[in-house]
C-alpha cells in the first residue's frame, strides 16, 4: 500500500473537486478558546486539513446588477456550496484518509457564537458544541489571511471561497503560514462600500489581533449587528423587497446598534414570518421576497446585501491590482455605477 502523504491527499482532494487544501498541525491552535479548539473534538488529532472551494465571481452578478438574488443564495451563500459542493468531496477525502487507517473527522463550519449554554459532559472538556473558528483554521493551515473586513482571503481567489475541515490523527509537516499583509492591502474599499457602515476604518483603530507562531494577524472589529441587518434583510438600502412590502419604512441600518443576535431575531422574524393575507398584501408573508429566497435557497439561509463591500468591492480591487491569481477576460467585475436604494421607503 502507498504511504499517505500530504501530496497524495492534496492531489486526491483536487481530483474530487476541492479548490484549496492546506495543512495545520494541532499545535497552531494552542491559543484557541477551549470551545473552538479542534483537540476538543478529536483529542488524538494531530493535523487539521482545511479545504475550500471558490465562490463563483458570477454568483454575485445578479445582486451587483440589482436583478437577481436567488442564484447567490441558492448556489454560493449558505446554499449548495456549503451544503453539497464542499461536503461531498470533503467526505470522499475523509473516506480516502480512513482507507489508510487514520481516523478522519469531517468538520462542518458551524457558528461558534451561536452556542446554547450547556454543561460539559466530561471532566476537563468544554461543553458541546465545539466549533472551530474556520477562518482562523484557514490561517493555521497556510491557506491565506483574514482581511481588514474579517473575510478570509487567499492568493488564488481573494475573498471568494468557503471553508470546511478534516481533523485527523495522521501527522504531517504543516504548510507554511502566509505572512500577514501579503493579500489584504488595507485599501479600505470594503469599508467605503459597506452599506451599513459595519466595518470601522483603519483610522478608528478598532481591531482584533491574534498570534500564530511568530505572526500577528489583525482585522477590523466588525459591528456584527449592523452587518447582520444588511445581510439578512433589515436594510432597505440593499433590499428592493422591503420597498415592496413596507411602505413607510424608516430604519437606517447605519444608525442601529443591535447586537448580532438581536439583528438576526429582527431580520428573520420580518423576513420569514407570515402575516394574514389582505388585499394590500396578498402573499401571506411579512416580506415576501425575503421569504421566497429563504424557501428556495438550499441550506435554510438567505443573503440580501450580498457582501457589497467586504467581498465584491474587495475582489474587484484585488483583481485590478493583480494581487489575486484568478483572472477574467471581461475586465473588472464592477462594470456600471452601483445602485443603493434610499433607506426611507416611500408610501404608496
Ligand atoms: S477591501 Fe479587501 S484588501 Fe482592501 S482593506 Fe478591505 S479586506 Fe483588505
Ligand atoms: S456583508 Fe454587507 S453589511 Fe456585512 S460587512 Fe459585508 S458589505 Fe458590510
Q: What digits encode the pLDDT tens for the residues 171-201?
A: 999 999 999 999 999 999 999 999 999 999 9
Residue 162 lies in a domain: yes
SS3 312: helix
Percentage of residues of the chain with pLDDT beyond 90: 93
Residue 11 lies in a domain: yes
User: Which residue puts its alpha carbon closest to atom 1 of ligand 2?
Assistant: 307
Q: What digits encode the pLDDT tens for the residues 210-229?
A: 999 999 999 999 999 999 99
Instruction: Say what the pLDDT of residue 118 is.
Output: 87
Residue 307 lies in a domain: no
Instruction: Say what the pLDDT of residue 78 is.
Output: 83
User: Which residue puts its alpha carbon closest to atom 6 of ligand 1?
Assistant: 190
Instruction: Please name the residues in contact with 44: beta carbons below 8 A apart, sequence gap of 6 or more.
Output: 103, 169
Query: Residue 348: is its pLDDT beyond 90?
Result: no
Residue 109 lies in a domain: yes
Of 55-64, 294-303, 317-326, the least confident = 294-303
Q: Name the residue of 69, 192, 196 to mutate for ligand 2: max ligand atoms within 8 A of Cβ.
A: 196
Q: Supply the Cα-derived Rg of the chain in whole angstroms.
A: 21
Instruction: Say what the pLDDT of residue 117 is.
Output: 79
Strands 20-25 and 207-212, sheet pairing: unpaired
User: Which residue puts its alpha carbon closest to atom 3 of ligand 1?
Assistant: 184
Instruction: Say what the pLDDT of residue 271 is.
Output: 94
Instruction: Say what the pLDDT of residue 275 is.
Output: 95
Q: What digits encode the pLDDT tens for the residues 34-63?
A: 999 999 999 999 999 999 999 999 999 999
Confidence of residue 299 (pLDDT cuts 50, 70, 90): confident
Instruction: Say what the pLDDT of residue 291 is.
Output: 96
Instruction: Say what the pLDDT of residue 233 is.
Output: 94
Q: Mean pLDDT throughout 129-156?
A: 97
Residue 314: CB within 6 Å of ligand 2?
no
Residue with cell 444588511: 230
Residues 236, 243 contacting (CB under 8 angstroms): yes
Instruction: Say what the pLDDT of residue 52 is.
Output: 98
N-term to C-term CA, the chain: 72
Residue with cell 457582501: 307
**What backbone phi and psi angles, to 5 degrees, belong to 280?**
-70, -40
Beta pairing partners, 49: 23, 166
Q: Name the residue of 72, 191, 194, 314 to mutate for ligand 2: max ligand atoms within 8 A of Cβ.
A: 194
Residue 116 lies in a domain: yes
Cis peptide before 271 (omega within 30 of 0): no
Query: Residue 10: is its pLDDT beyond 90?
Result: yes
Query: Residue 18: is its pLDDT beyond 80?
Result: yes
Q: Look up the CATH number of the domain holding residue 38.
A: 3.40.109
How confident is the prediction for the chain on average, in pLDDT? 96
User: Which residue puts its alpha carbon closest to atom 4 of ligand 1?
Assistant: 187
Nine-digit cell at 73? 443564495
Instruction: Say what the pLDDT of residue 279 is.
Output: 94
User: Which residue puts its alpha carbon closest to atom 5 of ligand 1?
Assistant: 186
Residues 55, 150 contacting (CB under 8 angstroms): no
Question: Which ligand 1 atom is nearest residue 159's CA?
Answer: 2
Residue 127 lies in a domain: yes
Percentage of residues of the chain with pLDDT beyond 70: 99
d(CA 49, CA 285): 43
Which range marks the domain in which residue 25 is found? 6-188
Q: Mean pLDDT throughout 318-332?
A: 97
Residue 256 lies in a domain: no
Residue 88 lies in a domain: yes
- 267 closest CA partner among 219, 297, 305: 305
The whole model's pTM is what?
A: 0.96
Instruction: Say what the pLDDT of residue 297 is.
Output: 85
CA 225 to chain centre: 16
Confidence of residue 300 (pLDDT cuts 50, 70, 90): confident
Q: What digits encode the pLDDT tens for the residues 272-282?
A: 999 999 999 99
How many domains is the chain partitioned into structurally? 1
Q: What digits encode the pLDDT tens for the residues 83-140?
A: 999 999 999 999 999 999 999 999 999 776 667 778 999 999 999 989 999 999 999 9
Residue 150: CB within 6 Å of ligand 2?
no
Amino acid at each position: 500500500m502507498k504511504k499517505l502523504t500530504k501530496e497524495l491527499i492534496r492531489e486526491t482532494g483536487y481530483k474530487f473537486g476541492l479548490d484549496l487544501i492546506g495543512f495545520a498541525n494541532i499545535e497552531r491552535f494552542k491559543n484557541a478558546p477551549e470551545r473552538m479548539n479542534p483537540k476538543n473534538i478529536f483529542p488524538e488529532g494531530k493535523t487539521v486539513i482545511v479545504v475550500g472551494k471558490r465562490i463563483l465571481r458570477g454568483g454575485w452578478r445578479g445582486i451587483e446588477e440589482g436583478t437577481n438574488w436567488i442564484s447567490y443564495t441558492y448556489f454560493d451563500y449558505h446554499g449548495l456550496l456549503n451544503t453539497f459542493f464542499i461536503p461531498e468531496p470533503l467526505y470522499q477525502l475523509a473516506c480516502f484518509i480512513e482507507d489508510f487507517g487514520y481516523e478522519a473527522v469531517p468538520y462542518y463550519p458551524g457558528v461558534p457564537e451561536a452556542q446554547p449554554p450547556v454543561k460539559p459532559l466530561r471532566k476537563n472538556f468544554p461543553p458541546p458544541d465545539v466549533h472551530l473558528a474556520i477562518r482562523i483554521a484557514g490561517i493555521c493551515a497556510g491557506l491565506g489571511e483574514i482581511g481588514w473586513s474579517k473575510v478570509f482571503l487567499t492568493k488564488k481567489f481573494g475573498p471568494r471561497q468557503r471553508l470546511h475541515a478534516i481533523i485527523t490523527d495522521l501527522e504531517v509537516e504543516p504548510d507554511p503560514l502566509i505572512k500577514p499583509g501579503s493579500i489584504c492591502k488595507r485599501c479600505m474599499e470594503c469599508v467605503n462600500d459597506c452599506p451599513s457602515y459595519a466595518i470601522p476604518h483603519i483610522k478608528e483603530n478598532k481591531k482584533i489581533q491574534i498570534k500564530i507562531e511568530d505572526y500577528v494577524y489583525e482585522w477590523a472589529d466588525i459591528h456584527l449587528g449592523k452587518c447582520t441587518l444588511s445581510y439578512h434583510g433589515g436594510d432597505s438600502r440593499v433590499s428592493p423587497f422591503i420597498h415592496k412590502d413596507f411602505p413607510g419604512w424608516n430604519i437606517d441600518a447605519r444608525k442601529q446598534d443591535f447586537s448580532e443576535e438581536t439583528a438576526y431575531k429582527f431580520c428573520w422574524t420580518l423576513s420569514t414570518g407570515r402575516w394574514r393575507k389582505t388585499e394590500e398584501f396578498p402573499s401571506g408573508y411579512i416580506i415576501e421576497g425575503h421569504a421566497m429566497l429563504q424557501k428556495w435557497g438550499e441550506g435554510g439561509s438567505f443573503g440580501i446585501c450580498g457582501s457589497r463591500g467586504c467581498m465584491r468591492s474587495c475582489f474587484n480591487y484585488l483583481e485590478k491590482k493583480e494581487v489575486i491569481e484568478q483572472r477574467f477576460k471581461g475586465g473588472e467585475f464592477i462594470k456600471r455605477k452601483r445602485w443603493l436604494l434610499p433607506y426611507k421607503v416611500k408610501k404608496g
